[in-house]
Structure 1
Amino acid sequence: MDSKLLARIGAVAFVAVAITATVIELTRKEERPEAAMPRPAQTGAADPLRDELFRCQSLGEAGPRDPACLRAWAESRRRFLTPGTTGLQTGSGLPGSSTESHSRGAAPGGE
């Protein structure tokens, strides 16, 4: 065989494999991302802090002036920044004193 003919056969085989791989990839159905990701375990009791944060979100611009929202944001920051903290600090789900919210800043930063 001639080397030119061998090179042509190799090129045709390469193009055929590339086209086959492309067709297979295009016909593959995509998995839904939510089915691939595990869902977090839901607890029986609702989190009062989460409910309070949703309420503060619905207040809009009045949220940063509401003392309950300031306490909720302080507790949220404390939970986020303290590693290994999953439980509530007090029975109500919000910190007992509002001094933490006033010492660290009243409103969440520029969001």
Structure 2
Amino acid sequence: MDSVFRALADPTRRRLLDRLFAENGQSLHRLCADLGMSRQAVTKHLKILEAANLVAVHRQGRERLHYLNPVPIAEIAARWIGKYERPRLDALQALKVRLEGGRDGET
């Protein structure tokens, strides 16, 4: 789990995961678009995500397609969030959102 926490600690890696969540099975070229980073830098981030088992890679011809693996995140949720009283956390989150006048999930 430590490798998952380390991988999730970086905002660029979280952004890559968000992009894979929105559209799974992307090539390196597509993942690099609009990041303002070199391919080498994105590749380093993807290797960390792969090592944490958050991204799986499948070769299709000359391309490597990247897929989100949500299992490690679900394990974190079960271990670190699920053990706390979920109804209380949901009520506090709803109250926070209502008081801040925002929508749920915004940071």
Query: Normalising by structure 2, what TM-score?
Result: 0.26
Relative to the length of structure 1, the TM-score reads 0.25
Higher normalized strand content (fraction of residues): 2
The structure having more radius of gyration, on CA atoms, is 1
